[in-house]
Amino acid sequence: MSAELESDDLTEKTYDSRLLRRLLRYLGPYKAPVAASFVLILFMAGLDLAGPYLTKIAIDDHISKGDTRGLVRVAGLYGVTLLLAFAVRFGQVFILQLTGQKIMLDMRRQIFGHIQKLHVGYFDKHPVGRLITRVTGDVDAVNELFTSGVVTVFGDLFTLLGIMGVMLAMNWRLALVTFAVLPLFFIVTDWFRRGARQSFREVRRWVAKINAFLQENITGMPVVQLFRREARNQAAFSAINRGHADANMRSIFFYAVFYPAIDLLAAVAIALILLYGGGRVLSGALTIGALVAFVQYSERFWRPISDLSEKFNILQSAMASSERIFLLLDTPPEIVAPVSPTALPDVRGRVAFENVSFAYNPGEWVLRDIDFAVEPGRSIALVGATGAGKTSIISLLTRFYDVQQGRVTLDGVDVRALDPERLRSSLALVLQDVHLFSGTIASNIRLGSAISDEKVRAAAEAVHAHRFIQKLPGGYDAEVKERGATLSTGQKQLLSFARALAHDPRVLILDEATSSVDTETEQLIQDALRVLLKGRTAIVIAHRLSTIQNVDEILVMHKGRIRERGTHAALLAERGLYWRLYLLQYKDQELLAT
């Protein structure tokens, strides 16, 4: 699946009726504007046909007969068709573009809505950059199909058929002479189409590489500068940049040949018309006006044909884009609400893991036979080496993933039987890496919930965040920039405590909440923690054993299993894993002290 999404071009076929049908469904709500635009395009094509014919009339019926008044009349008519063409084209472009914008709006809303429903595990396997491309570039490509592809192709075809019809009706021999160039034209177009498609694909691939490289190295700028990778990065970027430029050059080559070649062919066609038609005029079989009209028609003939090959490219890239979009939309959310969720009006906050085993990837067990319970209002701590599976336990409780064996319950109800929204609204998760959104301090505490200003402030005061918030320019309305780049880690931590407290959850989960702040802040945090934990069920993960000495039970994890459990004192007396961990830290502290 991921490999499929990675590839930039899924569809080698240009045309896939299944995809196209599904795409056309997006036009559904806009039948009227699409139809209007369609009619206007046909009208436009008709007006296009009128010009040369009016020229013929002007020359044959009026100029050659010295009929000035008639000439003025025809010229006036010509002027009217031009004005009309202007108005029609304006209306058509406007309506179609507007519709295209609305379709993009619908599509983006749908894709983003779907992305939000996907379970957390999906994002482990699908890079953010590609998902962003789905919502931006791919939707654009589809839009282009609607605005300059599907609808206008009909206009082009109509113009072509119309011109051919009029030419044949006016003088079929001369018409056939004009069409003699067509086979050559098809050869050139086919060559162009193949070459351009190939080089476009290459350009797109290079663009994706540039984006990925930039994203990685701009977000990682501190590391880049710290490890002085600038020169190496510059070289790497130059290589990618050169690849991109080369690919572009190749595609430019095709264009540079194609359009002049078309011009040349068009000129050859006109030369043929003049050569053959001129002879016919001399022999009296053709009027001058008809000859002039033929030249004009033939000029108008090539434009839509060369446009068609361009539209072929649009169609192709829209097909590839829509296939990728639909693949994303068809990915079923793995974590869904049950059909009839168990109602849990009053959450007391009893959390239990019953013989839970879990693997992110089938067969690679990360958790084995995890069995514990936390009574409402009690606290538990998880300790253990890195990679032991502590965070994974939390991800199961919040139902970011589902267990393979056993069950996780809240108040005795399997979390899979609860509406995820209900479940998550009774939990609050405080992570070490605090994620802040753009907005204000207050909006980051509220996170969209209806929480009064007083409550926000009370929460901030209770966890000692009020002091630093007050000092910010604007206080609670101070803007949070770039995911909180201007706040310290400790400040962000306090902010996330305030966030948790303001939401007043029954169950509070802390993941390594206290591992990266100075002693003073740590004391603030410890104090804030006491406030936070009061009266709630708490699950605390901490690397610093000093912070969890007061919890009701400590679970010591080792390689996905619970190896020891008990209170701080009892575990120390046991002289096992916990004791060794404690000793290690204790020694560290002693070393630090000296």
Ligand X SMILES: Nc1ncnc2c1ncn2[C@@H]1O[C@H](COP(=O)(O)OP(=O)(O)OP(=O)(O)O)[C@@H](O)[C@H]1O
Give the binding site for ligand X (CB under 6 A): 124, 360, 366, 384, 386-392
User: What's the CA gap between 43 and 60, in Å, rounded?
Assistant: 26
Of 189 and 392, the one with the shorter C-beta distance to ligand X is 392
Give 570's strand partners.
none
Least distance (Å) between residue 138 CB and ligand X: 26
Of 411 and 512, the one with the shorter C-beta distance to ligand X is 512
The three-state secondary structure class of 344 is coil
Of 384 and 406, the one with the shorter C-beta distance to ligand X is 384
CA distances from 322 to 16, 94, 154 (A): 11, 24, 21
* Own/partner pairs, 418-425, CB within 8 angstroms, 24+ separation: 418/338, 418/341, 418/342, 418/344, 419/337, 419/338, 419/341, 420/335, 420/336, 420/337, 421/337, 422/341, 422/344, 423/398, 423/399, 424/398, 424/399, 425/505
Number of residues that bind Mg ion (CB under 5 A): 1
What tokens were used for 586?
A: 């204790």
Least distance (Å) between residue 538 CB and ligand X: 17
The H or E element that residue 98 is part of is: helix 68-117
Least distance (Å) between residue 397 CB and Mg ion: 13
Q: What does 360 bind: ligand X, Mg ion, none (CB cut-off 5 to 8 Å by kind)?
A: ligand X
Q: What does 349 bind: ligand X, Mg ion, none (CB cut-off 5 to 8 Å by kind)?
A: none
Least distance (Å) between residue 541 CB and Mg ion: 6
Of 392 and 398, the one with the shorter C-beta distance to ligand X is 392
Q: What does 388 bind: Mg ion, ligand X, none (CB cut-off 5 to 8 Å by kind)?
A: ligand X
391 binds Mg ion (CB under 5 A): yes
Q: Are 158 and 42 in contact (CB under 8 A)?
A: yes
Phi then psi dihedrals of residue 66, to 5 deg: 70, 25
CA distances from 441 to 71, 354, 461, 569 (A): 75, 39, 14, 40
515 binds Mg ion (CB under 5 A): no
Of 43 and 358, the one with the shorter C-beta distance to Mg ion is 358
Candidate segments 172-180, 245-253, 384-392, 443-451, binder of Mg ion by CB under 5 A: 384-392
What tokens were used for 482?
A: 């770039």
Least distance (Å) between residue 366 CB and Mg ion: 11
Q: What does 464 bind: ligand X, Mg ion, none (CB cut-off 5 to 8 Å by kind)?
A: none
Is 482 exposed, middle or buried (CB count within 10 Å of its CB: 0-12, 13-18, 19+)? exposed
At a CB cut-off of 8 Å and minimum separation 6, what does 445 contact?
451, 456, 459, 460, 495, 498, 499, 502
Least distance (Å) between residue 556 CB and ligand X: 11
Least distance (Å) between residue 365 CB and ligand X: 9
User: What's the CA gap between 587 and 579, in Å, rounded?
Assistant: 12
233 binds Mg ion (CB under 5 A): no
Of 319 and 382, the one with the shorter C-beta distance to ligand X is 382
Of 431 and 478, the one with the shorter C-beta distance to ligand X is 431
Least distance (Å) between residue 3 CB and Mg ion: 29
Least distance (Å) between residue 544 CB and Mg ion: 14
Of 14 and 391, the one with the shorter C-beta distance to Mg ion is 391
Per-residue binding letters, 435-474, with Mg ion (x by CB under 5 A): ----------------------------------------
Q: What does 199 bind: ligand X, Mg ion, none (CB cut-off 5 to 8 Å by kind)?
A: none
Q: Are 513 and 551 in contact (CB under 8 A)?
A: no
Maximum Cα–Cα distance across the chain: 121
Of 171 and 392, the one with the shorter C-beta distance to ligand X is 392
Q: What does 392 bind: Mg ion, ligand X, none (CB cut-off 5 to 8 Å by kind)?
A: ligand X
Of 302 and 400, the one with the shorter C-beta distance to ligand X is 400
Say how many CA atoms lie within 13 Å of 222 toward its Cβ: 1
What tokens were used for 186?
A: 């098809």
Residues, the chain: 594
Candidate segments 96-104, 242-250, 385-393, 493-501, binder of Mg ion by CB under 5 A: 385-393
Q: Are 293 and 103 in contact (CB under 8 A)?
A: no
User: What's the CA gap between 594 and 590, in Å, rounded?
Assistant: 6
Of 53 and 360, the one with the shorter C-beta distance to ligand X is 360
Q: What does 124 bind: Mg ion, ligand X, none (CB cut-off 5 to 8 Å by kind)?
A: ligand X
Rg of the chain taking only CA atoms, in angstroms: 36
Least distance (Å) between residue 530 CB and ligand X: 24
Q: What does 340 bind: ligand X, Mg ion, none (CB cut-off 5 to 8 Å by kind)?
A: none
Least distance (Å) between residue 540 CB and ligand X: 13
**Binding site residues, Mg ion, CB under 5 A:** 391
